[in-house]
Amino acid sequence: MCGIFAYLNYQVPRTRKEIFETLIKGLQRLEYRGYDSAGIAVDGTKKATTDINGNTICLIKKMGKVKALDEELYKKDSLNLEEELFTHFGLAHTRWATHGEPSALNSHPHRSDKDNEFVVIHNGIITNYKELREYLITKGYEFESETDTEVIPKLIKYIYDNRESDSITFSTLVERVIQQLEGAFALVFKSRHFPGEAVSTRRGSPLLIGVRSEHELLTDNIPIQYNSAHFKEGIQEKNSHNRPDCSKAINSVGDACAVEYYFASDASAIIEHTNKVLYMEDDDIALVTHGKLSIHRVNRQAGENPVRAIQTLQMELQQIMKGNFDAFMQKEIFEQPESVVNTMRGRICFDTSTVVLGGIKDHLKEIKRCKRLILIGCGTSFHAAVATRQLLEELTELPVMVELASDFLDRNTPVFRDDVCFFISQSGETADTLMALRYCKKHGALTVGITNTVGSSICRETDCGVHVNAGPEIGVASTKAYTSQFVALIMFALMMSEDRLSLQARRLDIINGLRMLPELIKKVLALNDKIKAIANELYQQRSLLVMGRGFHYATCLEGALKIKEITYMHSEGILAGELKHGPLALIDKDMPVIMIIMRDGCYSKCHNALQQVIARSGRPIVLCSQDDPEMTKNVYQTIELPHTVDCLQGILSVIPLQLLSFHLAVLRGFDVDFPRNLAKSVTVE
């Protein structure tokens, strides 16, 4: 997940070195979000020319850590670090690659042209960037990166080059740009044509503005200006609101008084400078000109708040790094309503019930001709494959093998040219999975990557693939990457079965289930307090069994793995059908047992297993459906979950086990985010 930070000082003298330090510190506060490269944009040395008033913009970008960028800044001999700038606007950005591998060229800020007339920093994904890119290329604009973001500065320059009047405002240009964009974005713009001005906007990605002044602000509430400027049949309609109305903008008391503005993806980068912040809403356009901040929107929607309030943050810097959460793992569990949406965004059209995975659509015909699917992964990624195997078999009507990468290699498994092999890895660098990929390529199979890291080795070496867009995971124990991998594989199955008439009713049920999934995840997360109470009863135990079957066998494996990873308790995921073949010997009144029993095709079989556990004095904790009052009888405790289509129920049933493992680890006094002996990315065999 990219990090945005920008700083505008108006009538506040700052040396270029001080500005650099502010921008770098802002990026350092955002490092926890995960990134692979970083960059800044600042005013360069003024040229003695009439060209755009002699304004220049200097871009400095570096692959790797923020520290490497910081060192690079001081190598720029052309920049006078001691020059004092009374008014200046600087941009800074950390990039998490989604389109194009990590590199200085692909990192932000991105520019409109070689003269840096417009530069922009972006957090999010532009889903229609290919169409915009093709159009702009036909108009003579040259692209230098592989990113989706680069279309934005090119597009704003195209609109500026074709402006109807020289008096057009910066905010109007941005307004016209965002009307052409699809997807999610938080954007901050800087331009040589509008020195000392800043424009920011957002849709689907967070952005807030901090305000700092030695003087009291005129108001804590900013009325929104509704611009209603748009194109209709090639003719622009405009009204007097296209220009910023300074009476509706905030500034410090008195004319031309000093004020500073901080733009950031989250408050962790702002809190050390000011606790006065404004949270932008979707499609807001914030403009700072002559030190005054105004908020613009194209149209007013019924029921929307016509003002934006300056709020006072009550929290301290150390608290806000993880938001309101105690650990990154906890934060990532609670991000799952958003992360599954990001996985689906731009890929599922719920209105037409179509699914398009852009990364594999060009190979779809070849995949449909294959004789076998092989899904290969390690740990949590292996469990995502197990979780979706049954649906893949059902919708593709192909044999599906699920393999642990290390075992797959040890057996020298036969692989043929008409196989399609999937390699699932959060980091895209998992050593065993990477070795299995090279083994399959050598045998002529088509290879598909399912990763969360663009530019990783698996991304580069597979024939095609899907980026799950879960955002960076900092906690070693994977949570949101698992559910996003799950959703990505479900979408692949839906895409493969699009032309099967006999499967259309089933497909529609699953697509409707995906539509409702984010809200259902929120309902499961609301059970956190109940799960914490159960953890209080279990945390002193030495062992824990998790049982289920059918679609929920993978949930048992994944839940048990989470408990092992971060609580250091022995935990085992058991297929309920195997209970009488050995595991039943472990059951007594002292053995904690969690059973997953949902209303699906295995309900009666799981119920039989439950009776066997109860008959041996077991006291099972049962994850069951809300509409199952029978299940609450004769069992020790229940966790009642909302019901969804059977193949998606595993996403809802794994979240209580993620939360349980978190609370158990906290109660046992362990570091949740960095469990002993484990690394986030396993890059050795």
Annotated catalytic residues are: 2
Q: What is the DSSP letter of 146?
A: S
Bridge partners (DSSP) of residue 121 are: 188
- Classify 252 as helix, strand or coil: strand
Write out the two tokens for 121: 């920093």
* Contacts with 256 (C-beta within 8 Å, 6 or more apart), sequence order: 11, 290, 291
Q: What is the DSSP letter of 46?
A: P
Token look-up 């602000």 returns 217
Report d(CA 371, CA 394) in Å as an integer. Answer: 15
Token look-up 């149209």 returns 299
Beta strands in 280-334 (DSSP E): 285-289, 292-297, 307-309, 311-312
Contact yes or no for 371/419 (Cβ under 8 A):
yes
Report d(CA 532, CA 545) in Å as an integer. Answer: 18
Report d(CA 425, CA 434) in Å as an integer. Answer: 9
Note the Cα 335 to chain centre separation in Å. 9
Sequence length of the chain is 685
Report d(CA 188, CA 109) in Å as an integer. Answer: 9
- What number of other Cβ atoms are within 10 A of residue 162's Cβ? 8
From residue 553, give the alpha-carbon distance in Å to each of 202, 374, 453, 595: 41, 19, 27, 10
Q: What is the DSSP letter of 302?
A: T
Report d(CA 456, CA 681) in Å as an integer. Answer: 11
Backbone torsion region of residue 316, taken as left when φ is above 0, otherwise alpha when ψ lies between -120 and 50, otherwise beta: beta
The torsion angle over the Cα atoms of residues 134, 136, 137 and 140, rounded to 10 degrees, is 160
Report d(CA 538, CA 228) in Å as an integer. Answer: 59
Query: Which of 440, 411, 422 lies closest to 373 in space, CA to CA?
Result: 422
| AA letter at 589 | K
Contact yes or no for 561/379 (Cβ under 8 A):
yes
Phi–psi pair at 541, nearest 5 degrees: -75, 160
- Classify 397 as helix, strand or coil: coil
